[in-house]
Chain A
Amino acid sequence: MKEVRIICRCEDVTEDEVVEAIRNGCTTLDELKHVLRLGMGPCQGRTCMPLAARILARETGKKISEVEIQTSRPPVVPVQLGILAGGEDD
């Protein structure tokens, strides 16, 4: 059986899917995020983005330093709506 390597644990994205997306024209981490939901889960890309950057560098012949990092979004760590709303009962 073929080995399946999970790159994004939150959104269940495999290495094969990342490679396929790159071969189909994705040249940035932001595009990979949008077509695969890579990095959109609770960890916000902490685990998968460095891995995806290495795959992108490998597949496109770029240096890892030439791969543009993805846009990071607040609040960085998950925060409950109730806490942000200032709810007294929390």
Chain B
Amino acid sequence: MFPCSWAYWRVVKMIEKTDVAIVGGGINGCALAYELSLRGINAAVIERNYLASGATGRCGAGIRQQWSTKENAALAIESVRIFEHLEDELGSDIGLKQGGYLIAIHDEKDMGQAEKNVSMQRSLGLDVGILGPDEMVEIVPILDVEGMGAIGATFCPTDGNADPFKTTYAYANAAVRNGAKIYKFTEVKDILVENGKVKGIKTDKGKIKADVVVNAAGAWSKKIAEMAGIELPNVPYKKEIMVTERVEYVFDPMVISFKDGIYFSQQEEGQILGGIPPPETVTGYETSPTLPFLEHMSGTITRYAPVLKHVNVLRQWTGFYDVTPDALPILGEVEGLEGFIQCNGFSGHGFMLSPMVTKLLAELIAGEKPSLPIDRLNLKRFESMEFDEKEKYVVG
């Protein structure tokens, strides 16, 4: 069924002035417009293509709270709390399923890191534990633990997935109901700057004045920042993903491995969705799907779950990770350019972190005290290249 009504933003006349101009109509741009609208702040979202046409609509849809850095774990735990009541809050379906994440442990070294992470995550209140091979197969009956080369796994039952399209539209609709404007098929051409302050944006359909401009353009954030004379360290990485035909529903969690880089899950309708780093690393804006990825993915997923060799692949596509040197997002105002806010560099995790990240940025823009400290995620951490700790838990 059709997820929700979004007639509100079908035809919108270009406005001349708003409080906050948001560049990028992915999950973060739309969710931020909604969070700002709750605080009585007007926002305009400018999207070059259609909503969720970039990384949001191409992602693996996973929602994970099991991280190696405290920053990501805290953002993800708070995000899940928001996801859990988001359908009621926004008034439409987001396709949330909490089937857990099962993370393979391959050797004693992995086990050491897993124990350390589980203890940190538990200190933040997360329900997470370590499973033996038998328990892994109880939860995901199609797994071949020996084939995986695993000795155990960590498991968090409240991790899961949601539908990125439905979630984006749900946020967009709620924002528009509260007065936000959304312009799709509209391209930002320049960012207007005067005396160290942003003054608005120039698009291919006209100028919009705004004292705050948010860069939520995903893999294109680096190019948007350049328009304001700001250099971001972000690099776009091409990532590949595939989906199979629908088969009988047999397992709930997302299965992932940091050693093999694989992730796969079964969606509500029965299809199996998953990715793995392509054999050749490609940076830049090239988008063609490759056969070497599909062969590598097929080889690895059938080693993890041999019965899947009989299942047909229907489709493969690509998307971008907007990767920072420490794999953590860049959030907050740029020092020296008043009103220019970064909301990018999610390094493959923008969808799952978006509810809390956008709430924090809305608090910051509204002049409230952010409910979690985000100073450490400011762009300035890269000036000395002495950032604290890199997020190690990245897949795909």
Residues of A within 8 A of B (CB): 17, 20-21, 23-25, 27-28, 30-31, 34-37, 40-42, 44, 71, 73-75, 78-82, 84-87, 90
- Does chain A have a CB within 8 A of B57? yes
A90 CB contacts on chain B under 8 angstroms: 309
Residues of B within 8 A of A (CB): 1-3, 5-7, 9-10, 50, 52-53, 57, 165, 169, 185, 243-246, 269, 289, 291, 294-295, 297-299, 301-302, 308-317
- Nearest CB in chain B to that of A78: its residue: B312
Chain A residues touching B, majority SS? loop
- Nearest CB in chain A to that of B295: its residue: A84
In whole Å, how far is A48's beta carbon from the nearest beta carbon of chain B? 14
Determine which of A21, A74, A84 lies in contact with B2 in the assembled complex, contact meaning CB atoms within 8 Å.
Answer: A21
List 13 A-B residue pairs with CB atoms under 8 Å apart, sorted by A's residue number.
A17-B1, A25-B7, A35-B165, A36-B2, A44-B314, A74-B291, A74-B294, A78-B312, A81-B308, A82-B309, A85-B301, A86-B295, A87-B302
Give the number of A-B contacts (CB < 8 Å).
97
A21 CB contacts on chain B under 8 angstroms: 2
- Nearest CB in chain A to that of B308: its residue: A81
Determine which of B10, B169, B311, B313 lies in contact with A75 in the assembled complex, contact meaning CB atoms within 8 Å.
Answer: B313
In whole Å, how far is A23's beta carbon from the nearest beta carbon of chain B? 7
B9 CB contacts on chain A under 8 angstroms: 25
- Nearest CB in chain B to that of A37: its residue: B269
In the complex the two chains form, is B53's CB within 8 Å of A85's CB? no
- Report the 9 A-B pairs with minimum CB-CB distance, sorted nearest first: A82-B309, A78-B312, A84-B298, A85-B298, A25-B10, A73-B315, A85-B299, A81-B298, A34-B165
A42 CB contacts on chain B under 8 angstroms: 245, 312, 314
A78 CB contacts on chain B under 8 angstroms: 245, 312-314
Determine which of B6, B269, B289, B311 lies in contact with A81 in the assembled complex, contact meaning CB atoms within 8 Å.
Answer: B311
Q: How far is the CA of A9 from the CA of B315 in the complex (A)?
A: 17
- Nearest CB in chain A to that of B7: its residue: A24
- With contacts A24-B10, A75-B294, A78-B313 known, is A35 near B302, CB below 8 A? no
- With contacts A28-B50, A84-B294 known, is A17 near B2, CB below 8 A? yes
In the complex the two chains form, is A24's CB within 8 Å of B314's CB? no
- With contacts A20-B2, A75-B316 known, is A34 near B298, CB below 8 A? no
Given A74-B294, A84-B297, 19 more A-B residue pairs with CB atoms under 8 Å apart are A24-B7, A24-B10, A25-B9, A27-B50, A30-B53, A31-B50, A35-B165, A36-B2, A37-B269, A74-B291, A75-B313, A78-B312, A79-B313, A80-B310, A81-B301, A84-B298, A85-B295, A86-B295, A87-B302
Determine which of B10, B291, B311 lies in contact with A80 in the assembled complex, contact meaning CB atoms within 8 Å.
Answer: B311
A23 CB contacts on chain B under 8 angstroms: 7
A84 CB contacts on chain B under 8 angstroms: 294-295, 297-299, 313
In whole Å, how far is A24's beta carbon from the nearest beta carbon of chain B? 5
- With contacts A34-B52, A35-B2 known, is A79 near B289, CB below 8 A? no
In the complex the two chains form, is A35's CB within 8 Å of B317's CB? no
A17 CB contacts on chain B under 8 angstroms: 1-2
B269 CB contacts on chain A under 8 angstroms: 37
In the complex the two chains form, is B2's CB within 8 Å of A81's CB? no
In the complex the two chains form, is B5's CB within 8 Å of A81's CB? no
B10 CB contacts on chain A under 8 angstroms: 24-25
Q: How far is the CA of A27 from the CA of B310 in the complex (A)?
A: 37
Q: How far is the CA of A89 from the CA of B299 in the complex (A)?
A: 14
In whole Å, how far is A82's beta carbon from the nearest beta carbon of chain B? 3
Q: How far is the CA of A24 from the CA of B5 in the complex (A)?
A: 6
In whole Å, how far is A6's beta carbon from the nearest beta carbon of chain B? 15
B314 CB contacts on chain A under 8 angstroms: 40-42, 44, 78
